[in-house]
Structure 1
Amino acid sequence: MYAHGPSSHIPQPPHSAGTPYKGLRAAIDPNQIPSPIDTIELDREKWEEEPYPTLPGHHAPLSTTDYVAIDQGNSSPRYVRMSTWNMPSSSRLASECEVPIAAVIQPFADQDPREEPVPLVDTGDVGPARCARCRAYINPWCAWVSNGARWRCNLCSHETDVAPEYYCALDASLLRLDHLQRPELNKGTVDFAVPEQYWAPHPPPAIRPLYYSMSPDPSTSTRKPRPMDYVFAFDVSQDAVRLGFLQTACNVLLELLYGRDDSVLPCFPTSSRIAILAFDRTLQFYNLSSEIVGQPPMLVVPDVDDVFLPSTAGLFVNHAESRDAIIDLLTALPTRHEQTVENEVALGSALSASLAALAGRGGQVVVFASSIPTIGVGALEPLVDESTLYGTDKERTLFEPREETWKDIGEQCAAEGVGVSMFLGPARPIDVASIGVPASLSGGELYFFPRFDPIKDAPCFASHFRRLISRTTVYSCSMRVRCSVGLRVSKQYGNFYESAAGDMEFGTLDADKTLAIALEHVRTLDDRQYAFIQSALLYTTREGQRRVRVHNVALRVVTLAGNVFQFADMDAVVSLLLREAISKLPSYRFAQIHESLTEKCALILYAYRKFCAAAAAPTQLILPEAFRTLPVYVLAMMKTKPLKGRSVTADVRNYYGHKISAMSARRIMHHLYPRMLALHDLNDEIALPDANGRVDLPSLMRCSHLFMESHGVYLIDNEDAMMLWIGASVSPQLLKDLLGVDDIWEVDQHMLSLPQLPTRLSTQVRNILAHRNAQRGYTPKFTVARQNIDGAEIEFSDMLVEDQNNAAMSYIDYLCLVHKQIHTALTTGASIASNNGFRSMPW
């Protein structure tokens, strides 16, 4: 704590303009409106010491809480989070409650180190037991009949014979005698090792092939699982060289492969092989064989319209065995092209060549690109001034690929088990809506560094690249979600390709990828039985084993709206609503998407008032416990980069749309409502290890200038960026302890991280940041904003989502708007969704 004079609250910092409330409203104390921070802190205190048992009937911890889950036959909410843990018995009850029925699934979520690892079950050549009718996998909720000779599927009630190799007699409780020794019969999440019939199939020939294949047709219908191979494709055009993007990419890849001194350790998987490809207006392949002495030979393909592999000799190599050749090549690439005047790139052709290299085996492509592709496969015309399209019917074209070939590339990559991830460092608009499609359809990732600056962007680039290589990643994936009879999957959201059969196909899938599955009733459920959801993901591990990961969830079925709301989960609802809104970008205007979000928010709160708190006066704002802070999160959705009004470039909107569509519930909640800390108010014990080595983290604060003071220093973190805001009246001692200077004008506005100082405050803050970065696996970009001095203050202010900014209202005004709408519906009986009411509101 640092001594200071009388409290001096700050005026709202400069920001992108907001929207005022239209009409009169009573003066409201900001401290009296529901606070997301209070909800987060209460939940954190509850689950800090107490493990979470996963059997039905418990409130799941919030996604923002660090908890230990004990798998009792239901998957941990880390893997599957339901929008309500009490399933409405009928479609009528579900529509009355207005709570969308959805599952948010993160199949490979990072576990808490205190939890048991996911068990691996190997049933030999017979494979995992599956229902003969619906093909669901054996799980803890199945029943055994005929003394164990048959089992009844919990999803469809069909009875299936037990294979002789899998048979076991039952005990007096009708459980198998080996029940406790078989994880698949008592754990909600398991991995099954699977036999040859589960191997990935070769896809049928493409209607429009992207490359010319000289290899013979495969002799088998399936392909043997192998360790995952990587292709690294480097843009060597003028922009990539001039910006330092090529040099940075080569340097970081060398560090990941071989480390640097003792400070940076290598993290590349030892079982994987790599290939390196360079491209501008030609494709350049390299023979990296360990027998080659000196510079690796280069093979050039000048025809970028008819792509083929010139040779496979030395194309894929073990990075340890070919160390010298790889180091020589990555060191020479930037200098070899430093005088280039080539500004045309064949990015689509490079992706097609990478796909050709990995066809028949699957793997991952990592591309580094700086220029819009103007020649070769998927060539694009230079972009017109997009501002001329704003507000017109053609604005939606900014969110669709301008060339269908990019969809073909994504679909063929997903079919071949190839994931595409792209690092984009453009100097000019690069059309993310088109070139980002292969990453979205193949389960890959986009990283966006506009106007790339090696000094500012290299640390963040290196951190994301390390996370990409080191996190759990699998390939050649196919996923299906099955439900109890009476439910069905209605919509699937995320970064994948949906096959004709409705399966989700991924080239690669990793620990950070999350999907949202919307469900609907097809008939009434029995409230004396549980409802069940089962997710099954067939995949190949990075080491080359074929497996199925199965997640099971059992839910109580209820007939009263109050019970649905009692066990609703706002984190899952918010995750679904945000993905739904982003998916509408090519079809609807921003105003319509905003109206729809506000309508859904008001409908959920109105349904609670109507069915669970009807006796209260209509003038009272009564909110369900689970959705107390829903309005602020819906408002925050309208302030995100993909959805906010005013001029955000199409590249930025599309990039963030791609990222958010695959974000976990936890990251979405932190992205929508950033974590903010008052660093000048940390007490002396917080964030320092105690006698047991445990570190307590400080409480967060509300994201509004109304709670800030001019003598303060604040840290805000939305998972994508971290910013340090320094008030104009800051204490010199505070600056000295945190930044090593005693004058605000001496603060280095270009610093990329906090300096390591021997002070208590410096240690505390660095411990907090280290904890957060270790949890998420990467380090976001770090920026300093001094009050009324630095331009970065605008970006900081836009992250204060409770304020009036980002072409939207303040939280107080938005809450009044929603309350007014609910009050009107309660007193007049008008429908919130009617055209003469809600949609004509001018906001």
Structure 2
Amino acid sequence: GLSCPGKLLIFHTTSLIETGHTSSSSGFFGTNKPKVPCLHASIFQPSESAVSVAKECVRQGCGVHLFVLSHQDVGGAWPGDIPYLTGGALHTYSHLQGELDRERFSTDLKRTVETDTGYKAELRIFVIRVSPDLRVSGCYGLFVPGPNPGRVTMATLDRWTTLAVELAHSRALDESRGVAIQVVLSYTLRSGDRRTRVHTVTLRCSRQLQDTFRHYQAQTLLTFYCKKSKEVRPLQELREELQTEVTEALACYRKHCCSASVSAGQLVLPQYLRALPVYINSLRKSEVLLPGLRSSVHQRLQQRCQVLRMDTCSTATHFYPVLLPLVSAINTQPEEALRCSAASLEPRGLYLVHAPLTLLLWVGTQVPACTLVELFNTSCFSSLPSGEVRTEGRDGCTESINVTSASRDIIKDILINSFNLWVVKQGDSCEEALQRHLVEDKSPNGGASYADFLYHLHVNSVRLLQ
């Protein structure tokens, strides 16, 4: 298979031992620990050897998929840079000793082999002549960056590949002509055929800030900022930059788009950016940018790579999960999603928390006995199963809990990544896993609550105008 594009599947069964020997610090299992301490080093910075191997994979069109069957959260080198930089993925399991791990391994392997993939991909972004003052200033995603942000080469791509593009202009754009951008994507199919797809997008321009704020989309901005966080810089600097950009945007809106009758103490948010502060606060205090209490470096690195692959809808759901009350779904249709706060949880309630990487079922201490019997075949709260259980997903796995037809439909609709269900009982030790997803509250790792963050944004934006 030398010099042949395709997928390289690696199954690693021994522990990832980090070593200080130079000869062992290369390739997939090389350590990212710098030999000389550097204040500006980031835990997310790939090693030079990993980047070198990834570049060779890109040149050959080889996507690496690594299955680590003896994953350990403590010690060892991080092996995930090369898989993600080549369009592949890293899958970790705990020695495949449990049935749940074996089922997940089988599902992951099947998806990896059957996913339609393009090889030796090249993405070129052109600004058509009607927009000579516009240029591509940045492109962000999971790929090996090159000298030209308007030209990206990738080893492989599939329907989950996502990128974020940043445009900049040196002079005022012509409102009457607008902006025209052309994207050319070329890739090779498994059959060897070369395909090229051309997309042309025309965008309006306006010198009126009100028009600009009117066309903002909070979820799109969140996705852009999330992918831009891939930059190798100190995490605290990235967190502060996020807060500064949102503060300046609110100050700009307050100065140019609000009436003179707005008092200094009145909070003003653009209509289409009302969700942006809660999104940005969730990103700032997530384990992508802030260490968790019980999360290892490996877990943070893997989660970061998974998040950077997400599209706009999945990114928004990850940083503001869907919180659904399910007790009412026993006999009627489920209610609307609730705010992600502990104040939304009632002891008599049963709630489903869904994010692209997580599916949690929170059970209150005062849930009616008839509901417990229908769901778990027991009427005693203390005897409920806790932790990870199996549900009937898209592949028809064997059930461990008898979910009702209504709630089963909800689970099947949102269980899109073959993740199993975690049952969390109120007051249980594993309830900390739920607290990380209640993004409007103060997080266990010290991240600010949404109310506190919004207050600081308001105060700082007013100060900028004084």
- What TM-score does the superposition give when structure 1 sets the normalisation length? 0.50
- Work out whether residues 179 and 204 of structure 2, in 8 Å CA contact, stay in contact via their aligned partners in 1: yes
Match of 1:594 in 2: 239
1:482 aligned to which of 115, 121, 126: 126
Is 1:650 aligned to residue 304 of structure 2?
A: no
Is 1:809 aligned to residue 466 of structure 2?
A: no
Looking at structure 1, the residues matched to 241 and 148 of structure 2 have their Cα atoms a distance apart, in angstroms, of 30
Match of 2:55 in 1: 411
Q: Which SS does the other structure have where 1:557 is aligned?
A: coil
Structure 1: where are the runs of 5+ without partners? 1-356, 687-696, 829-843
Looking at structure 2, the residues matched to 362 and 437 of structure 1 have their Cα atoms a distance apart, in angstroms, of 19
Q: CA deviation at 1:677?
A: 0.8
Looking at structure 1, the residues matched to 220 and 433 of structure 2 have their Cα atoms a distance apart, in angstroms, of 28
- Work out whether residues 574 and 634 of structure 1, in 8 Å CA contact, stay in contact via their aligned partners in 2: yes
Q: Which SS does the other structure have where 2:204 is aligned?
A: strand
Q: Which SS does the other structure have where 1:768 is aligned?
A: helix
Match of 1:673 in 2: 320
Distance change >3 Å, CA 518–CA 501, structure 1 → 2: closer
Q: CA deviation at 1:501?
A: 4.8
Looking at structure 2, the residues matched to 369 and 614 of structure 1 have their Cα atoms a distance apart, in angstroms, of 63
Looking at structure 1, the residues matched to 177 and 452 of structure 2 have their Cα atoms a distance apart, in angstroms, of 44
1:625 aligned to which of 268, 271, 279: 271
Match of 2:105 in 1: 461
Is 1:581 aligned to residue 233 of structure 2?
A: no
Looking at structure 2, the residues matched to 819 and 396 of structure 1 have their Cα atoms a distance apart, in angstroms, of 32
Match of 2:249 in 1: 604
Looking at structure 1, the residues matched to 336 and 402 of structure 2 have their Cα atoms a distance apart, in angstroms, of 18
Equivalent residue runs for 1:552-571 within 5 Å: 552-571=200-219
Q: CA deviation at 1:376?
A: 6.0
Q: CA deviation at 1:541?
A: 1.9
Q: Which SS does the other structure have where 1:422 is aligned?
A: strand
Deviations 1:698-726 (A, max 9, x none): 52111111111011111111111111111
Is 1:728 aligned to residue 365 of structure 2?
A: yes
Q: CA deviation at 1:819?
A: 1.1
Distance change >3 Å, CA 506–CA 788, structure 1 → 2: same
Query: Which segment drifts farther, 591-600 or 460-469?
Result: 460-469
Q: Which SS does the other structure have where 1:792 is aligned?
A: helix
Structure 2: where are the runs of 5+ without partners? 393-397
Q: CA deviation at 1:811?
A: 1.0
Q: Tell me the amino acid that sits aligned with residue 240 of structure 2.
A: E
2:41 aligned to which of 380, 393, 396: 396
Looking at structure 2, the residues matched to 563 and 382 of structure 1 have their Cα atoms a distance apart, in angstroms, of 49
Equivalent residue runs for 1:16-415 within 5 Å: 357-359=1-3, 361-370=4-13, 371-372=15-16, 378=26, 396-402=41-47, 404-415=48-59
Q: Tell me the amino acid that sits aligned with residue 603 of structure 1.
A: E
Looking at structure 2, the residues matched to 441 and 481 of structure 1 have their Cα atoms a distance apart, in angstroms, of 20
Match of 1:795 in 2: 433
Looking at structure 1, the residues matched to 107 and 10 of structure 2 have their Cα atoms a distance apart, in angstroms, of 16
- Work out whether residues 642 and 652 of structure 1, in 8 Å CA contact, stay in contact via their aligned partners in 2: no
Equivalent residue runs for 1:7-22 within 5 Å: none
Deviations 1:743-769 (A, max 9, x none): 112222255224789x99611111111
2:405 aligned to which of 763, 766, 769: 763
Looking at structure 2, the residues matched to 761 and 382 of structure 1 have their Cα atoms a distance apart, in angstroms, of 45
Q: Which SS does the other structure have where 2:243 is aligned?
A: helix
Match of 2:281 in 1: 635
CA RMSD of aligned residues (A): 2.7
Q: Tell me the amino acid that sits aligned with residue 701 of structure 1.
A: L
Deviations 1:294-351 (A, max 9, x none): xxxxxxxxxxxxxxxxxxxxxxxxxxxxxxxxxxxxxxxxxxxxxxxxxxxxxxxxxx
Looking at structure 2, the residues matched to 760 and 377 of structure 1 have their Cα atoms a distance apart, in angstroms, of 49
Distance change >3 Å, CA 422–CA 394, structure 1 → 2: farther
Distance change >3 Å, CA 557–CA 706, structure 1 → 2: same
Match of 1:524 in 2: 172
- Work out whether residues 372 and 382 of structure 1, in 8 Å CA contact, stay in contact via their aligned partners in 2: no
Is 1:749 aligned to residue 386 of structure 2?
A: yes
Distance change >3 Å, CA 638–CA 714, structure 1 → 2: same
Q: Tell me the amino acid that sits aligned with residue 418 of structure 1.
A: C
- Work out whether residues 429 and 651 of structure 1, in 8 Å CA contact, stay in contact via their aligned partners in 2: no
Match of 2:115 in 1: 471
Q: CA deviation at 1:528?
A: 0.9
Q: CA deviation at 1:678?
A: 0.8
Match of 2:65 in 1: 421
- Work out whether residues 490 and 519 of structure 1, in 8 Å CA contact, stay in contact via their aligned partners in 2: yes
1:548 aligned to which of 188, 196, 209: 196
More relative contact order in 1 or in 2 (CA 8 Å, sep 6+)? 1
Q: Which SS does the other structure have where 1:621 is aligned?
A: coil
Distance change >3 Å, CA 646–CA 655, structure 1 → 2: closer
Is 1:438 aligned to residue 82 of structure 2?
A: yes
1:508 aligned to which of 151, 156, 163: 156
Looking at structure 2, the residues matched to 583 and 738 of structure 1 have their Cα atoms a distance apart, in angstroms, of 46
Q: Which SS does the other structure have where 2:82 is aligned?
A: helix
Distance change >3 Å, CA 449–CA 518, structure 1 → 2: farther
- Work out whether residues 10 and 66 of structure 2, in 8 Å CA contact, stay in contact via their aligned partners in 1: yes
Q: Which SS does the other structure have where 1:410 is aligned?
A: helix
Q: Tell me the amino acid that sits aligned with residue 598 of structure 1.
A: Q
Q: Tell me the amino acid that sits aligned with residue 822 of structure 1.
A: S
Q: Tell me the amino acid that sits aligned with residue 480 of structure 1.
A: R
- Work out whether residues 349 and 364 of structure 2, in 8 Å CA contact, stay in contact via their aligned partners in 1: yes
Looking at structure 1, the residues matched to 419 and 254 of structure 2 have their Cα atoms a distance apart, in angstroms, of 41
- Work out whether residues 471 and 510 of structure 1, in 8 Å CA contact, stay in contact via their aligned partners in 2: yes
Deviations 1:228-272 (A, max 9, x none): xxxxxxxxxxxxxxxxxxxxxxxxxxxxxxxxxxxxxxxxxxxxx
- Work out whether residues 534 and 552 of structure 1, in 8 Å CA contact, stay in contact via their aligned partners in 2: yes
Looking at structure 2, the residues matched to 742 and 707 of structure 1 have their Cα atoms a distance apart, in angstroms, of 24
Q: CA deviation at 1:463?
A: 3.0
Match of 2:395 in 1: none
Looking at structure 1, the residues matched to 96 and 246 of structure 2 have their Cα atoms a distance apart, in angstroms, of 39
Q: Tell me the amino acid that sits aligned with residue 624 of structure 1.
A: P
Q: Tell me the amino acid that sits aligned with residue 135 of structure 2.
A: R
